[in-house]
Chains A and B, each alone.
Chain A
């Protein structure tokens, strides 16, 4: 309306500053909760999803117990032959001890891989952390592992993770011992031929001390080449499978290959990336639903607060309302003013709540440490989500004004004006 009306509206607002602040604070607190929960929850899930997508392989075979996939080399060749498969890479992860020159012992995670295939199953992001070719002297792991025997010459080369190299102050060319036990004589000597970086692992611990070496050599070292009876094991604990680029983005294509692979190994668990993504998205939907439920309790409390304050105001202003009705101000104008008041308080609360929520997350990310800080720094503020929240609150404000409007329009004029 005109300036006079608004200035009078402002004056009447100032008359009731404490109430106004209280209402805005209550709604603000109710809004801040979903802002924090949804932004942080959404952030964590989208981080998980992107780290899955970045991991590059789209199907993985895992044995139920560790070190359970036998005949890994042969199985990998069979999988390679399936159409749509770009590369298959068996992997074996075993904790071992490393003996640098000087007599100390360092526990490390040894990863046995087929160097060329391993590179191909890595995402672009992970590949950028690795040398352009894994120069372990045996790109296909066929020199040492020759036709199902371990007869060929060993390259005895390995790559170490940069943190390990730096901590032990080692350089390329140094010879170190690697052993499945603290007894150095149970192991053998390897030459360091290079280093690689590690992807940042935000959620959950990730090993910093990692050694990368040809699969067959790790199998020999830790005794997973042959069983105690002497028969061939050729063991790996997982096989990662990369799709040809034309299939990688097609869930149905990935699914077809996954079921073909499952046909080869009915006793192992085959999971595809799309499956994992679907699982995470399912979990996200459940958690988001939980957050929304939790937040609605807060919002309902905020709403009740608003209703109570509006009812109080109608009570405080019953005489003014009565006078206006008596001199012929239409009911809808009285209703409009109450709704405008509800909307004003609500929008004030939304602004305070959104700002407060963002500030809370920001402060948590900056001034806390550990997991809380890590999680808070993942938060994403989705504008669409915030707008939706604001719209929901406007709806709630309209709902909240219903009772006060009814009360105002049902005032008995003779009683009010007595």
Chain B
């Protein structure tokens, strides 16, 4: 698939405007160039409203830039139909959200099975894989629990298991510890680091928290829709 030197994802002069051309136009991203290589661990910091989530949405193919290009493993994707971007998200990208976003009507195990089912994996094989993933995040005993029966830390660990289900090349986390106390936050960060090491996936963590950012090897800072510092990269 990718040669070691080929980028996992690359933004070229990416610009994202809201209400473009209207008086209340917002330049959420204003010409961002960014290359993320396989296996990188990268943090993004910046004040509220500086465009961190907007950037992450472009990297996760949840959104497309108003101008500029997005290259996924070398191929432009900003004009692909939604169906194709959905396929790339399914096979290549894992998401971890600040508010966990588990499906409330599914058990922990069923939540982890969801991306496997979307990929067409069925029956016992799917169940076994989901069980192994839950074991990996230390929640074997909570398979049948519903999200509302789990603590915040446990919910986020289920979300990590779900994000890892289809062995993504890119893991995106937006404030993954924003709603957790420091003990639980450390557990989640350890798991993320462990996943990074064992799968070789590139990891991008958006955070306000310096101790979270400190785990990364490369640090970006954003202001007003631009990347203002980029340090520690290879």
- B62 and A331: CB pair below 8 A? no
- A11 and B105: CB pair below 8 A? yes
Whole-angstrom CA separation of A163 from B204 in the bound complex? 98
| B interface SS class | helix
Whole-angstrom CA separation of A385 from B74 in the bound complex? 60
Interface flag for B224 (CB, 8 Å): no
What residues of A have a CB within 8 angstroms of the CB of B95 in the complex? 326-327
- A328 and B87: CB pair below 8 A? yes
Segment touching B, from A98-106, A221-229, A316-324? A316-324
- B105 and A324: CB pair below 8 A? no
What residues of B have a CB within 8 angstroms of the CB of A413 in the complex? 57, 62-63
- A324 and B114: CB pair below 8 A? yes
- A327 and B89: CB pair below 8 A? yes
Interface flag for A152 (CB, 8 Å): no
What residues of A have a CB within 8 angstroms of the CB of B101 in the complex? 319, 323, 417
* Cβ-closest chain B residue relative to A2: B123
B97 touches which one: A325, A328, A417 (CB < 8 A)?
A: A417
Return A259 CB to nearest CB of chain B, in Å. 70
What residues of B have a CB within 8 angstroms of the CB of A320 in the complex? 103-105
Interface flag for B82 (CB, 8 Å): yes
Interface flag for A282 (CB, 8 Å): no
Whole-angstrom CA separation of A97 from B122 in the bound complex? 89
What residues of B have a CB within 8 angstroms of the CB of A319 in the complex? 101
A328 touches which one: B89, B109, B110, B113 (CB < 8 A)?
A: B89
| A interface SS class | helix
- B103 and A414: CB pair below 8 A? no
B90 touches which one: A1, A5, A328, A417 (CB < 8 A)?
A: A328
Whole-angstrom CA separation of A25 from B231 in the bound complex? 63
Using A4-B110, A333-B118 as known contacts, say yes or no to A327 and B162 having CB atoms under 8 A apart.
Answer: yes
Interface flag for B86 (CB, 8 Å): yes
Interface flag for A330 (CB, 8 Å): yes
Interface flag for B234 (CB, 8 Å): no
Interface flag for A8 (CB, 8 Å): yes
Interface flag for B77 (CB, 8 Å): no
- B83 and A328: CB pair below 8 A? no
Using A8-B110, A414-B57 as known contacts, say yes or no to A324 and B62 having CB atoms under 8 A apart.
Answer: no
Return B78 CB to nearest CB of chain A, in Å. 14
Return B100 CB to nearest CB of chain A, in Å. 10
- A12 and B87: CB pair below 8 A? no
Interface flag for B140 (CB, 8 Å): no
Whole-angstrom CA separation of A269 from B32 in the bound complex? 95
Using A326-B95, A327-B90 as known contacts, say yes or no to A15 and B118 having CB atoms under 8 A apart.
Answer: no
- A414 and B62: CB pair below 8 A? yes
Interface flag for B131 (CB, 8 Å): no
- A417 and B62: CB pair below 8 A? yes
Interface flag for A297 (CB, 8 Å): no
Return A394 CB to nearest CB of chain B, in Å. 26
Interface flag for A329 (CB, 8 Å): yes
What residues of B have a CB within 8 angstroms of the CB of A333 in the complex? 118
- A326 and B89: CB pair below 8 A? yes
- A330 and B63: CB pair below 8 A? no
What residues of B have a CB within 8 angstroms of the CB of A417 in the complex? 62, 97, 101
Whole-angstrom CA separation of A277 from B89 in the bound complex? 68
Return B22 CB to nearest CB of chain A, in Å. 17
Interface flag for B65 (CB, 8 Å): no
- A328 and B105: CB pair below 8 A? no
* Cβ-closest chain B residue relative to A14: B105
Whole-angstrom CA separation of A325 from B57 in the bound complex? 13
- B62 and A323: CB pair below 8 A? no
B82 touches which one: A2, A5, A331 (CB < 8 A)?
A: A331
- A328 and B62: CB pair below 8 A? no
Interface flags for A76-117 (1: CB within 8 Å of B; 0: not) read 000000000000000000000000000000000000000000
Interface flag for B225 (CB, 8 Å): no
Whole-angstrom CA separation of A320 from B90 in the bound complex? 16
Whole-angstrom CA separation of A5 from B91 in the bound complex? 22
What residues of B have a CB within 8 angstroms of the CB of A323 in the complex? 101, 103
- B62 and A330: CB pair below 8 A? no
B102-143 residues with Cβ-Cβ distance < 8 A to A are 103-107, 109-110, 113-115, 117-119, 122-123
**A residues touching B (Cβ–Cβ < 8 Å)?**
1-2, 4-5, 8, 11-12, 15, 319-320, 323-331, 333, 409, 413-414, 417-418
CB pairs A–B below 8 angstroms (18 shown): A4-B109, A4-B110, A8-B105, A320-B105, A323-B101, A325-B86, A326-B62, A326-B89, A326-B95, A328-B86, A328-B91, A328-B93, A328-B118, A328-B166, A329-B114, A330-B118, A331-B82, A414-B57
**Contacts A327-B114, A329-B115 known; 13 new A-B pairs at CB < 8 A:** A2-B122, A4-B110, A8-B105, A8-B107, A326-B62, A327-B94, A327-B163, A328-B87, A328-B89, A328-B166, A331-B86, A414-B53, A414-B62
**Nearest 6 Cβ contacts at the A-B interface:** A328-B90, A12-B105, A329-B118, A328-B89, A413-B62, A414-B57
